[in-house]
Chains A and B, each alone.
Chain A
Amino acid sequence: MNWQLLPQFAITGILSGGPIALIALGLVLIFKSSEIFNFAHGQMLLIGAMATWWFFSPSALGRVFPADEQFALRLALAIVLALLTSVLLGLLIERLALRPMTGQPLLSIILMTLALSQALQGLTILTFGATQRNFPVIFRVTEPYRITWPFRQNAAADASCRFALGGELQPGCILTLLRQDLLWSFVVAIACVLLLYAFFQYTRMGLSMRATAEDHETAQAVGIRINRVFGLSWAIAGMIATVGGILIATASGLDLSLSVVVLAAFPAVLLGGLESIPGAIVGGLLIGLFQGLVALPNNDFFLGPEAAQAVRNSREIVPYVILLIVLLIRPDGLFGQKRIERI
């Protein structure tokens, strides 16, 4: 095992878990209000990022603000416009596709979101094309932050290792490189999550959404218009998806495969518990962490080099292995309510 890379992979993993948590939150939001598990969330992510790219591009806002100095303004406006687009998209989806499905069996609703995911994917390609896009880089990548740890990498190291941020690299000590772009997108993701949390705790609208989630009929009885709540939750989910899409696209470029990112968020949701907002956050970060840690085995791995390589290549299945374990041991997830019928 590459033990000296442990802090590296753990930190990178948790940081990449930030956007996963944000995406998971969008899923939880919709599930909480309307008990729909949204398989089209990935495409909402994609459309949000694509719309941002398009508004930013020379054919839209680029015409108005061509100068390089106006980069920040142009980008901010593009993001705002993309957020508005995604709100509209969320409302449309809810009204046109899911409202008619009220009262239908679970299978039909699952299939509806799957069908939506396909239709939206096609729509995205038709509107924005299938080629890769250069997404505006929001967090300028300069040198990564360097952290040294009070551990020695090998016995031969002569210097005494200390914990230091950004300090000089001491030979033989364990050094961790912290990617700035990851760090900042993590910060933004977590800020969004906290904002939403506050929204649910302290605003009237947020409270009525929680009430609806708890019990549709009671909520209706106290005068909450639950149709409006459904619509609102889809609109918010659309916005969250757009922010998630932007964060991922700015770190690693934009193309159609962006929608696949959401496949790592599904297990995060179940790991946290379908209806729990803190669960979604913890689930997302944990999935990120585990995805980081599987990269540890090197050729000295106890099962041999070939197995080590297989484990290192298991990033994309890690969430699902965790998922299977969770389902067998604790189906309601870490923070979920014990609502599942035992059968």
Chain B
Amino acid sequence: MTVRWMRLSLVFTLLLVGLIACGSPAVEPTPTSAPAPTQAPAPTEAPAPTEAPAAPTEAPAPTEAPPDPSTLSIVEIAAADDRFETLVAAISAAGLADALSGGEFTVFAPTDDAFDALPAGTVDSLLADPAGALTDVLQYHVVEGAVLSGDASALSFAPTLLADRNISIDARDNGLFLNGEAMVIAADIQAANGVIHVIDHVLVPRTLTFYHFGDLSGPLAGVTAPLITGFNDAVAAANAGRGVYGATIDLEFTDTQSSVDAAVAAYDRYTSESDDILVMFTYGSGDGEALMSRFREDRIPNLAAGLSSVAFYGPESGYTFGYAPIYPEQFGLFLDYIVANWDAVKPEGAGDEIKLAYISWPTAYGQGALTPESRAYAEQLGVEIVAEELFDPTPTADTTTAILNAQAAGANVIYTNTLAFGPASILNGLGVLGLRGQFLVGANNWAMDVATYAFLSDPALAAGMISPFPYLWWTDVDNPGIQYVSQVFAEFERPIELQAVGYLLTFGGVDLAIMAIEDAVDAVGFDNLDGQAVFEALTKMSETSVLDGLFFVDFTDGSRSPHIAQIRQIQGGPDAFVVLQDFAATPDLVPAETFDLGQ
């Protein structure tokens, strides 16, 4: 904690010193020079190649006849150019002139105008701390090796001299952009020890914080652990790459042990630590439901792994977004599928009528798929829900009683809205009773997971289980998103049992959050970035593919969750989650009474 906190406070002070402190511009020469824009076109024509021959011999005589720039060092070129007076002053103040005269570097050189655009006094305060903040900021503009603009546009990010800090690179129609805010206005100025690209914005090493909390040691720890590991790995991978437009992501986590009380306390702590939280991540349905009105009041978008319909669409919600269809819609899609394919999937000896037993946990999550809308939909499809049974949300739960009651009620389909060990309890119960063959077992997305196997007394019991599947799976190695996640998973040497749905989903969630924040930066800029801006960016996402098609979201028109999923079936051993039906729209079972953000 202390280490992280110190790092955080260091970054904060850096930013503070860098941006907020006030005073008057100290670098006197700047204003006197002629306005830059008129001179701007010149250097683009200047680049060396044509004038090349003269170079080596004349190098020592800098003042007279225009020297061939490519024989001059980066610092010398900058010094000769009157657009970089602040930069040159800064480099000499920080004592980096020597360092930048040797080796091979790419320097992104902000113009004096760029420095002037910083809040008043920033440059002063930077100069006041040459060994610290100033050096950091300057190093953040330098990349090892000579990278020409043509090569740079193929990159997504580049590591800078500032340790563990990268800049993002985006090639857009109107030019090359760094960290989403600085445009390269003059590229490829050759120097003896590298290349200079002129940019119109000073790059600042930023840090954003992602807040999340979940159950790492309570009753659902086994299920939450992959979620949180996936989240941490995704953030670490992002930080090693382009971050959020170059900003490093910091993490705040609290273990709430499935207690809503602890979740609210964590929320209070986070909101008092920071005034402008960009995004929070929740895992439990209960947490999401309890906090939904706070997210809305405090204008903090919440990316939720729990897919409760109340949390997404309840009258007091509106700021909660999900990665997969809400549970009633998953249930609806499952019903659609079995009704259409009953002859193919029905258990041996079952009649034509589908009689469903809903056997699940007595929790907000366990009962999440049964809403008035989904009940009505089942009735409309002619599926009779003949029994609703409960069992305890522990791996040690006894389900035989529930199963026998379902059997006595004439059920031939069992549906459960549980996590990993939930379906395992039911399948084990069926196995113990020797009744596996009499039921088609279906479950929501979380239930079809490798973790399910950890709790099965016999892996064969799982064969035939059908579930809605709103994302791709680890075995879909053709997909670049899956390839990326698998590569990160391997890099961090995670144990195989973490190769679960939770890891994939939160990995995608981090990607989704980064996309949304980058969109928000495009819309309002880094300086005005806040939760509301991220929220607005999220609500503008239509048919967006997360992590190259790992899953798809569309949050326009008041939608807060995806409405498509595959149907998959377990066939054979672990990981054999075979696609029965490709991505198709779920029935619309959003609650009748939904939020109204009005305004």
Contact = CB atoms under 8 A, between A and B. Distances in A.
B395 A313 contact: no
A173 B386 CA distance: 22
A179 B421 contact: no
Contacts of B404: 5, 8-9, 295
A286 B386 CA distance: 30
Interface of B is mostly: mixed
A181 B432 CA distance: 9
Contact of B397 (A4, A5, A8, A252): A252
A129 to B, nearest CB: 9
Contact of B455 (A179, A253, A298, A309): A253
A16 B455 CA distance: 21
Most buried by B among A2, A16, A292: A2
A312 B389 contact: yes
B388 A179 contact: no
A309 B388 CA distance: 8
Nearest to A9: B401
Given A125-B217, A253-B455, A2 B396 contact: no
B222 interface: yes
Interface in A269-292: 292
A292 B401 contact: yes
Contacts of A144: 432-434
A227 interface: no
B454 A134 contact: yes
Given A144-B432, A177-B433, A257 B219 contact: yes
B447 to A, nearest CB: 16
A316 B391 CA distance: 11
Contacts of B389: 309, 312
Interface residues of A, number: 37
A155 B407 CA distance: 19
Contact of A257 (B217, B396, B433): B396
Nearest to B457: A141
Most buried by A among B218, B388, B400, B409: B400
B395 A132 contact: yes
B396 A298 contact: no
A4 B398 contact: no
A295 B359 CA distance: 14
A254 B455 CA distance: 10
B44 interface: no
Most buried by A among B432, B434, B455: B432
Given A2-B408, A132-B421, A299-B409, A257 B394 contact: yes
Contacts of B454: 132, 134
B558 interface: no
Given A132-B421, A257-B219, A179 B396 contact: no
B396 A143 contact: no
Nearest to A181: B432
Contacts of A258: 396
A137 interface: yes
A132 B222 CA distance: 7
Contacts of A4: 408
A12 B434 contact: no
A130 B396 contact: no
A143 B434 contact: yes
Given A143-B434, A254-B396, A131 B362 contact: no
A332 interface: no
A83 interface: no
Contact of A253 (B395, B405, B408, B409): B395
Can you list the 3 inter-chain pairs with the closest CB atoms, starting with the nearest? A252-B396, A257-B394, A295-B401
Interface of A: 2, 4-5, 8-9, 12, 16, 125, 130-132, 134, 137, 141, 143-144, 177, 179, 181, 248-249, 252-258, 292, 295, 298-299, 309, 312-313, 315-316
27 contacts: A5-B404, A8-B404, A9-B401, A9-B404, A12-B400, A130-B217, A130-B218, A130-B221, A131-B221, A132-B421, A134-B455, A144-B433, A144-B434, A177-B433, A248-B396, A252-B396, A252-B398, A253-B455, A254-B396, A257-B394, A292-B401, A295-B401, A295-B405, A298-B408, A309-B388, A309-B389, A316-B392
Interface of B: 217-219, 221-222, 225, 362, 386-390, 392, 394-398, 400-401, 404-405, 408-409, 421, 431-434, 454-455, 457
Given A4-B408, A315-B401, 14 more contacts: A12-B400, A125-B217, A131-B222, A132-B395, A132-B421, A144-B434, A179-B400, A179-B433, A253-B455, A257-B219, A257-B392, A299-B409, A309-B389, A312-B389
